Structure 1
Amino acid sequence: MKARETVRLDLRGVKCPLNWARAKVRLEQMARGEVLDLTLDDPRGARDIPGAAEAEGYLVLEATARDGVFHLRIER
């Protein structure tokens, strides 16, 4: 079985809802099974993106926060 490809997207400095819009565009370009590794510093985006991603049918694998930086891993 092939390892899942990971696509990284750094959205630090991008505020909600623009960070979700950019992440969604990137997810739509990816192949099923690929993982989007998001980095952001907007607390609202970190709170809202997982729910928005799941509503669109994506799988949130991980959501962590450290020193005001949030990391989300979302599978296409």
Structure 2
Amino acid sequence: MSGKHTDAAIDITDVVCPITFVKVKVALEDLADGQTLAVHLNDGEPIQNVPRSLKDEGHKVLSVDQNGDGTYDLVVEKGGLA
């Protein structure tokens, strides 16, 4: 995962949509507003849907980094609207 400091991390490369977002949402429930979560996810549906769903729920996507191996590292800040 990325070298950026985050409060928690989750690897969802072994799950498929729509469970990918559910796993991220559950991980965010353990965090306080303003804390950050690093998410390691696959190309395709996960990278298309998870960031959009997070934004729709009031969270802030801070970065999305492509790893060059078909995976991405996303950092999200928990928002107060969720």
Q: Provide the TM-score with structure 1 as the length reference.
A: 0.86
Query: Which consecutive segments of 4 or more residues in structure 1 shift more than 4 A?
Result: none
Conserved in 1, the CA contact under 8 Å of 2:62 and 2:75? yes
Query: What is the TM-score with the length of structure 2 in the denominator?
Result: 0.81
* Aligned 8 A contact 1:15 1:42 in 2: no
Give 5+ residue unaligned stretches, structure 2. Answer: none
Q: Is the 8 A contact 2:64 2:72 kept in 1?
A: yes
How much identity, in percent, do the aligned residues show?
30
Compute the displacement of 1:42 (Å): 4.5
String of CA shifts for 1:25-65, please: whole Å, max 9, x gaps.
11122111110100012421111111100110000001121
Change (3 A) 1:5 1:65: closer
- 1:1-76 equivalences under 5 Å are 5-66=6-67, 67-76=69-78
Tell me the matched-pair count: 73
Q: Measure the CA separation in 2 of the matches of 1:29 and 1:14.
A: 20
